Homo-oligomer: A and B are copies of this chain.
Amino acid sequence: MNFSSKLMEQAVEAFAGLPGIGRKSALRLILHLLSKEQTDVEGFTQAILDMKKNIRECNHCHNLSDREICSICDDLHRKNDVLCVVESIRDVMAIENTGQYRGLYHVLGGVIKPIEGIGPDQLNIDSLLERIKKEKTREVVMAISPTIEGETTTYYISKQLKNTSVKISTIARGVSFGGELQYADELTLGRSIVARTPYNISD
Protein backbone atom coordinates (compact mmCIF):
# COMPACT_ATOMS: atom_id res chain seq x y z
CA MET A 1 0.00 0.00 0.00
CA ASN A 2 1.26 3.48 -0.85
CA PHE A 3 0.76 6.11 1.81
CA SER A 4 1.17 9.82 1.21
CA SER A 5 1.48 10.27 4.97
CA LYS A 6 3.95 8.58 7.32
CA LEU A 7 1.65 9.25 10.28
CA MET A 8 -1.20 7.45 8.59
CA GLU A 9 1.05 4.55 7.67
CA GLN A 10 2.14 4.17 11.31
CA ALA A 11 -1.46 4.20 12.52
CA VAL A 12 -2.48 1.63 9.90
CA GLU A 13 0.44 -0.62 10.90
CA ALA A 14 -0.58 -0.29 14.56
CA PHE A 15 -4.10 -1.52 13.78
CA ALA A 16 -2.89 -4.18 11.36
CA GLY A 17 -0.86 -5.66 14.24
CA LEU A 18 -4.10 -6.69 15.96
CA PRO A 19 -5.38 -10.24 15.35
CA GLY A 20 -7.79 -10.63 12.43
CA ILE A 21 -7.27 -7.10 11.08
CA GLY A 22 -5.58 -6.75 7.70
CA ARG A 23 -4.16 -3.55 6.26
CA LYS A 24 -7.30 -2.76 4.27
CA SER A 25 -9.52 -3.06 7.34
CA ALA A 26 -6.94 -1.07 9.31
CA LEU A 27 -7.15 1.73 6.74
CA ARG A 28 -10.94 1.81 7.02
CA LEU A 29 -10.72 2.06 10.82
CA ILE A 30 -8.12 4.82 10.58
CA LEU A 31 -10.22 6.85 8.14
CA HIS A 32 -13.17 6.43 10.48
CA LEU A 33 -11.14 7.78 13.42
CA LEU A 34 -9.89 10.66 11.26
CA SER A 35 -13.48 11.67 10.55
CA LYS A 36 -14.23 11.82 14.30
CA GLU A 37 -13.67 14.71 16.71
CA GLN A 38 -10.32 14.96 18.52
CA THR A 39 -12.04 14.33 21.87
CA ASP A 40 -13.71 11.15 20.57
CA VAL A 41 -10.36 9.77 19.43
CA GLU A 42 -8.78 10.69 22.77
CA GLY A 43 -11.67 8.92 24.52
CA PHE A 44 -10.98 5.82 22.44
CA THR A 45 -7.26 5.68 23.26
CA GLN A 46 -7.87 6.62 26.91
CA ALA A 47 -10.27 3.70 27.39
CA ILE A 48 -7.56 1.34 26.16
CA LEU A 49 -4.82 2.89 28.30
CA ASP A 50 -7.02 2.96 31.42
CA MET A 51 -7.82 -0.69 31.00
CA LYS A 52 -4.22 -1.74 30.39
CA LYS A 53 -2.96 0.28 33.36
CA ASN A 54 -5.55 -0.47 36.00
CA ILE A 55 -7.03 -3.87 35.29
CA ARG A 56 -5.85 -6.68 37.55
CA GLU A 57 -6.50 -10.30 38.39
CA CYS A 58 -9.06 -11.04 41.09
CA ASN A 59 -7.17 -12.32 44.15
CA HIS A 60 -9.65 -15.15 44.58
CA CYS A 61 -10.62 -16.46 41.17
CA HIS A 62 -8.02 -14.93 38.74
CA ASN A 63 -10.82 -13.37 36.70
CA LEU A 64 -10.09 -9.87 35.37
CA SER A 65 -11.21 -7.19 37.79
CA ASP A 66 -11.04 -3.46 38.55
CA ARG A 67 -10.44 -4.15 42.23
CA GLU A 68 -8.66 -6.78 44.34
CA ILE A 69 -11.80 -8.91 44.43
CA CYS A 70 -13.95 -9.18 41.28
CA SER A 71 -17.65 -8.40 41.20
CA ILE A 72 -18.57 -12.10 40.96
CA CYS A 73 -16.56 -13.16 44.03
CA ASP A 74 -17.89 -10.07 45.82
CA ASP A 75 -21.54 -10.91 45.11
CA LEU A 76 -23.12 -12.13 48.37
CA HIS A 77 -26.12 -13.55 46.50
CA ARG A 78 -24.07 -16.23 44.73
CA LYS A 79 -23.59 -19.75 46.08
CA ASN A 80 -20.09 -19.76 47.53
CA ASP A 81 -19.85 -23.53 47.94
CA VAL A 82 -19.91 -24.29 44.20
CA LEU A 83 -16.82 -23.55 42.08
CA CYS A 84 -16.77 -23.69 38.27
CA VAL A 85 -13.24 -24.30 36.94
CA VAL A 86 -12.58 -22.76 33.49
CA GLU A 87 -9.59 -22.11 31.26
CA SER A 88 -9.99 -18.40 30.58
CA ILE A 89 -12.03 -15.32 31.41
CA ARG A 90 -13.78 -15.74 28.06
CA ASP A 91 -15.32 -18.95 29.41
CA VAL A 92 -16.48 -17.07 32.51
CA MET A 93 -18.23 -14.55 30.25
CA ALA A 94 -19.77 -17.29 28.09
CA ILE A 95 -21.21 -19.10 31.14
CA GLU A 96 -22.37 -15.84 32.74
CA ASN A 97 -24.21 -15.00 29.51
CA THR A 98 -26.31 -18.17 29.84
CA GLY A 99 -27.69 -16.94 33.18
CA GLN A 100 -27.83 -20.60 34.32
CA TYR A 101 -25.02 -20.60 36.89
CA ARG A 102 -25.06 -18.84 40.27
CA GLY A 103 -21.88 -20.21 41.89
CA LEU A 104 -18.32 -18.86 41.81
CA TYR A 105 -15.50 -19.40 39.29
CA HIS A 106 -11.83 -20.29 39.22
CA VAL A 107 -9.82 -19.33 36.12
CA LEU A 108 -6.89 -21.68 35.45
CA GLY A 109 -5.24 -19.48 32.84
CA GLY A 110 -4.95 -22.35 30.34
CA VAL A 111 -4.71 -26.14 30.31
CA ILE A 112 -1.82 -28.55 30.87
CA LYS A 113 0.23 -28.70 27.63
CA PRO A 114 3.51 -30.56 28.19
CA ILE A 115 4.60 -29.89 24.56
CA GLU A 116 4.47 -26.13 25.16
CA GLY A 117 6.03 -26.50 28.61
CA ILE A 118 2.81 -25.71 30.45
CA GLY A 119 2.56 -27.96 33.51
CA PRO A 120 0.29 -27.71 36.56
CA ASP A 121 2.72 -25.22 38.15
CA GLN A 122 2.15 -22.71 35.36
CA LEU A 123 -1.62 -22.76 35.97
CA ASN A 124 -3.69 -21.50 38.89
CA ILE A 125 -4.15 -25.03 40.27
CA ASP A 126 -2.42 -24.60 43.64
CA SER A 127 -4.62 -21.62 44.43
CA LEU A 128 -7.66 -23.68 43.37
CA LEU A 129 -6.82 -26.50 45.80
CA GLU A 130 -6.16 -24.00 48.61
CA ARG A 131 -9.44 -22.25 47.88
CA ILE A 132 -11.42 -25.49 47.96
CA LYS A 133 -9.94 -26.33 51.35
CA LYS A 134 -10.42 -22.85 52.80
CA GLU A 135 -13.84 -22.01 51.40
CA LYS A 136 -15.34 -25.42 52.22
CA THR A 137 -16.39 -25.96 48.64
CA ARG A 138 -19.11 -28.59 48.24
CA GLU A 139 -18.98 -29.04 44.43
CA VAL A 140 -16.43 -28.37 41.69
CA VAL A 141 -17.85 -28.08 38.16
CA MET A 142 -15.14 -28.77 35.58
CA ALA A 143 -15.97 -26.68 32.48
CA ILE A 144 -12.81 -27.36 30.45
CA SER A 145 -12.68 -27.83 26.66
CA PRO A 146 -13.10 -31.49 25.61
CA THR A 147 -9.64 -31.67 23.98
CA ILE A 148 -6.88 -34.09 24.95
CA GLU A 149 -5.14 -31.36 26.96
CA GLY A 150 -8.42 -30.29 28.52
CA GLU A 151 -9.30 -33.84 29.56
CA THR A 152 -5.80 -34.27 31.00
CA THR A 153 -6.26 -31.12 33.06
CA THR A 154 -9.67 -32.26 34.31
CA TYR A 155 -8.18 -35.65 35.21
CA TYR A 156 -5.20 -34.07 37.02
CA ILE A 157 -7.37 -31.79 39.14
CA SER A 158 -9.86 -34.58 39.92
CA LYS A 159 -6.99 -36.75 41.12
CA GLN A 160 -5.79 -34.03 43.48
CA LEU A 161 -9.27 -33.91 44.99
CA LYS A 162 -9.72 -37.68 45.23
CA ASN A 163 -9.38 -37.99 48.99
CA THR A 164 -11.60 -35.06 49.83
CA SER A 165 -15.37 -34.91 50.21
CA VAL A 166 -15.74 -32.48 47.29
CA LYS A 167 -18.20 -33.57 44.62
CA ILE A 168 -16.73 -33.24 41.11
CA SER A 169 -18.88 -32.84 38.02
CA THR A 170 -18.23 -31.89 34.40
CA ILE A 171 -20.54 -29.93 32.14
CA ALA A 172 -22.77 -32.19 30.01
CA ARG A 173 -21.50 -33.18 26.57
CA GLY A 174 -23.93 -34.18 23.86
CA VAL A 175 -25.67 -33.22 20.66
CA SER A 176 -26.35 -29.46 20.48
CA PHE A 177 -29.88 -28.15 20.77
CA GLY A 178 -31.19 -27.52 17.28
CA GLY A 179 -28.45 -29.70 15.80
CA GLU A 180 -29.38 -32.58 13.49
CA LEU A 181 -28.10 -36.01 14.50
CA GLN A 182 -26.59 -36.77 11.11
CA TYR A 183 -24.30 -33.75 11.35
CA ALA A 184 -23.02 -34.44 14.90
CA ASP A 185 -19.45 -35.76 15.01
CA GLU A 186 -19.04 -39.45 15.89
CA LEU A 187 -17.35 -38.91 19.26
CA THR A 188 -20.06 -36.55 20.48
CA LEU A 189 -22.88 -38.74 19.19
CA GLY A 190 -21.26 -41.89 20.63
CA ARG A 191 -20.79 -40.31 24.03
CA SER A 192 -24.30 -38.89 24.04
CA ILE A 193 -25.69 -42.42 23.57
CA VAL A 194 -23.48 -43.88 26.31
CA ALA A 195 -24.36 -41.02 28.65
CA ARG A 196 -28.09 -41.10 27.84
CA THR A 197 -30.36 -39.54 30.45
CA PRO A 198 -33.75 -40.75 31.68
CA TYR A 199 -36.68 -39.13 29.90
CA ASN A 200 -39.27 -37.79 32.32
CA ILE A 201 -42.84 -37.31 31.23
CA SER A 202 -44.28 -34.52 33.32
CA ASP A 203 -48.03 -34.87 33.57
Contact = CB atoms under 8 A, between A and B. Distances in A.
Interface of A: 1-8, 10-11, 13-14, 17-21, 25, 27-34, 38, 41-45, 47-55, 58, 63-66, 70-72, 89-90, 92-93, 96-97
A31 to B, nearest CB: 7
A138 B42 CA distance: 44
A86 B6 CA distance: 21
A41 B52 contact: yes
Copies of this chain, complex-wide, total 2
Interface majority SS (helix, strand, loop, mixed), chain A: helix
A58 B93 contact: no
B20 A25 contact: yes
Contacts of A58: 4
A49 to B, nearest CB: 6
Across chains A and B, which 6 residue pairs bring their CB atoms closest together, nearest first? Answer: A45-B45, A2-B96, A14-B47, A11-B51, A7-B51, A41-B52
Contacts of A5: 51, 55, 64-66, 70-71
A55 B19 contact: no
B17 A70 contact: no
A48 B48 CA distance: 12
A118 to B, nearest CB: 15
Contacts of A44: 14, 17, 48
